Structure 1
Amino acid sequence: MTPLPDCYCPVDGTRVAAESFAWCCPVCRGPLDLDFAPTPAPLKSLGGRVNSLWRYTEVLPLPTPSISLGEGRTPLVELEDGVAAKLDFLMPTLSFKDRGAVLLTELALRLKPREVVADSSGNAGTSIAAYCARAGLPCTVYVPAGTSPKKLEQIGAHGARVHVVDGDREAAARAAREKADEPEVFYASHVFNPFFLHGTKTYVHELWEDLGGRLPDVLVLPVGNGTLLLGAALAVAELYTAGLIERRPALYAVQAEAVAPLAHAWQEGAGDLVDATATAPTFAEGIAIPRPPRARQILRAVRDSGGRFLTVTEDQIREAQLDLASRGLYVESTGVVSWAAVREGELGARGAVVPLCGAGLKTGLAAGTGPSGG
């Protein structure tokens, strides 16, 4: 069996063996990164490989999949005025979270836990539940009150135990982490576990291949906990370091105006979260995260790329969802925020690509006042 790269704390450098059940830095309790700097394969070598994200095996810390559902390789379609959309809502569980969930579950299989736990407002929990079902691993997903009934139904259909926490998204996370501290429990955290980020980075590796060995000038990405943006930053760094792209695209991070702690910190010129900002209900429940644990990394990644933060209103989210539906693309309200931001600005002229991250069937059309989640 191929050895796994170790994890380390990006704050204090503490190292943690990847093959342990530790889910955070034992010193500061913060998220971990992976001691892994792979070299991507050149474009010409990808032809004829498996048609899933596992075709990028050189950049994945787990190179031998056993539970793949064919995740990845989602279509890239033109929208308008030089803006393209990557249809990640066409993944096996209908969201981009499958990219990271398959790696977390592959890791769990190696560790042989007595239980897998996750916390989620829906999509990440659904992905973990599906891949645990595929792997034959017992799974419990902690969700906040107010989670979409359709997402709860999907999690339960995969055989996972759904634990509804009386509270918000952060309350669900606290409950899951308390359980994760028990012996032989694997915390399949899409926030704390770096293996997840090395799954989401395949979004950019696919873009690079789809565009014939280049990347667009701008990547516009929804940000709550930042797992897609940080994965994108990893992939950009890998491709640039290997000399496979000439310049790095700017990362534009989009938050709902109702819950925008990172955008607020950016406006203040801060390198970390500033004093708590007011929040309100939002249609974009999947990115409604008041205190993202990887805030410093997200802010630094955007700044280093030459990008910036954007916010969108509830009306803009609703209008963007309806606009995409009129184009034949039914996307959940969280998954349309990047398109909402592009519609309001001038990014199209710079060749932007937006991810459509989750299927509309998960939440339905935005109407009235949206619930707050994350």
Structure 2
Amino acid sequence: MHFYCERCKKEYPVATHAYACECGGLFRLYQSAMDIADRHEDVTLGETQTPLLPIEMDRCRFYFKMEDRQPTGSFKDRGAKRLIGELVHIGIDRVVIDSAGNAGAAVAAYAAAAGIACRVYVPDDISAERAKQITAYGADVIRVPNGRMNASSVARAELGSDYYASHVYNPLFADGIKSMAQEIYHQLGDTVPDYIFVPVGNGSLLLGLYLGFVEIGRLPRFVGVQSTKCAPVVEAFHGLQETPRKSTIAETLRVGAPPRLPGILKALRNSSGDAVAVEDSEILKAAKTLNHRGIYAELTAAAALAGARSFFADGMPDNYRVVIPVPGSGLKR
């Protein structure tokens, strides 16, 4: 198994402390069939298959993939388990990550389980609940002013000799998220859903699901959902003029310039999908709808539901199977 540059194809070992190629290209993962069979299960927090919950609302049936049931409360556990499991195998003992909360908590938790020291850079305005969770796992939390993108820049600048366990730059993370696609496929009777509405910040959820369905051999239509206050993917997908980035209530969507934007656009276009932006007021309405159906989710799930409502404003065919991931628990708000 090794990394290779998506631009110039230069190969790097997984143990490299570089987070991108010297040419500026980002890494992808190359692995053989033997690698795929050897998943290094030494590090675990008791993760399990999450429910795919069918709920009728707005005269439509949606299937909610309940990733809030993962050990640290978000889908990021899938990527963290895969990444940290591999790092244990190759002898890494110190990691750094930047995060708006969920990825930082997941990597900190799995690093703690593996005996790996962890340092997490976060925007200084993340919720107290997210920061408290990361700290509880024994990680060093570094608060950085001026938003999510600046936290990423500072983390990379201060990396030193530590390994960058990034959910954005390290392709092992997205490789772990592929398992969600496989679960959805089997939970729908070995069929692929018609649509999946995916909240998009840095795009790790979308890219992981895309890779998983590519392996299955058939793609659902992916619809990326963002807030109108920060919608770089929507603007790029539709060729719209870039607008000023503002703070949205959905914290993890506040990514003004996703490093893997070309890959995100490729996933949307290859799946004949779309990208939509929704107002924060619609996200709050969708959150209330979920709450009143017994789902207390983080606001990215509400954003995805708001995107589906907007997309199917004129109605949805009865036979459509539409999946909406619930990326994380509302207890982190």
What TM-score results when the alignment is normalised by the length of structure 2? Answer: 0.93
Aligned to 1:22: 18
Query: What SS does the corresponding residue of 1:82 show, helix, strand or coil?
Result: strand
Q: For 2:231, which of 251, 260, 265 is the aligned residue?
A: 260
State the shift of 1:64 in Å: 2.3
Structure 1 partner of 2:118: 139
Q: CA RMSD in A?
A: 1.8
In the alignment, is the contact (CA less than 8 A) between 1:31 and 1:191 conserved in 2?
no
Report the equivalent of 1:121.
Answer: 100
The yes-or-no answer on 1:64 pairing with 2:64 is: no
Q: Letter of the 1:358 partner, please give it.
A: G
Distance 1:206 1:27, change over 3 A: same
- Kept in 1, the 8 Å contact 2:93–2:115? The answer is no
Q: Is the 8 A contact 1:191 1:293 kept in 2?
A: yes
2:158 partner SS: helix
Q: 1:302 to 1:260 in 2, by over 3 A?
A: same
* 1:334, distance to aligned residue in structure 2 (A): 2.0
Match of 1:244 in 2: none
Equivalent pair of 1:14/1:27 in contact (CA under 8 Å): no
| TM-score (ref. length: structure 1) | 0.83
8 Å contact from structure 2 (residues 200, 226) kept in 1: yes
Structure 1 residue 351: Cα displacement:
1.5
Amino acid across the alignment from 1:256: S
In structure 2, distance between residues paired with 1:159 and 1:248: 40
User: Structure 2 residue aligned with 1:352, among 316, 322, 330?
Assistant: 322
Q: 1:334 aligns with which of 300, 313, 326?
A: 300
Q: How does 1:199-278 map to 2 (within 5 A)?
A: 199-240=176-217, 247-268=218-239, 276-278=242-244
Kept in 2: contact 1:20–1:111 (CA 8 A): no
Question: Which protein has the bigger strand share?
Answer: 2
- Does the residue aligned with 2:328 lie in a helix, a strand or coil? coil
Q: Is the 8 A contact 1:254 1:337 kept in 2?
A: yes
SS of the aligned residue for 2:97 comes to strand
Deviations 1:151-184 (Å, cap 9, x if unpaired)? 000000111010101221111101111233x23x
1:276 Cα deviation after fit? 4.8
SS in 1 for 2:180: helix
Distance 1:291 1:62 in 2: 35
In 1, the alpha carbon distance for the partners of 2:246 and 2:309 equals 23
Is the 8 Å Cα contact of residues 82 and 348 (structure 1) preserved in structure 2?
no
Provide the C-alpha distance between the structure 1 equivalents of 2:195 and 2:6, rounded to a whole number of angstroms: 26
Equivalent-residue separation in structure 2 for 1:34 and 1:114 (angstroms): 21
| Matching residue of 1:367 | none
- Worse-superposed segment, 17-26 or 211-220: 17-26
Q: Which runs of structure 1 show a deviation greater than 3 angstroms over 4 or more consecutive aligned residues?
A: 58-62
Structure 2: distance between partners of 1:351 and 1:235: 18
Which one of the candidate residues 261, 265, 269 is aligned to 1:295? 261
Instruction: Verify the 8 A CA contact 2:181 2:209 in the aligned structure 1.
Output: yes
| CA-CA distance at 1:256 after TM superposition | 1.0
Preserved contact between residue 60 and residue 198 of structure 1 (Cα < 8 Å): no
The sequence identity of aligned pairs, in percent, is 36
> How many residues in Structure 1 have an aligned counterpart in Structure 2?
326
What CA deviation, in whole Å up to 9, does each residue of 1:104-152 have, x standing for no partner? 1112213333421110011100001111111111111000110111000
Q: Structure 1 residue 200: deviation in Å? A: 1.0
Where in structure 2 are there 5+ consecutive unaligned residues?
A: none
Q: Which moved more, 1:85-94 or 1:336-345?
A: 336-345
Distance 1:298 1:348 in 2: 25
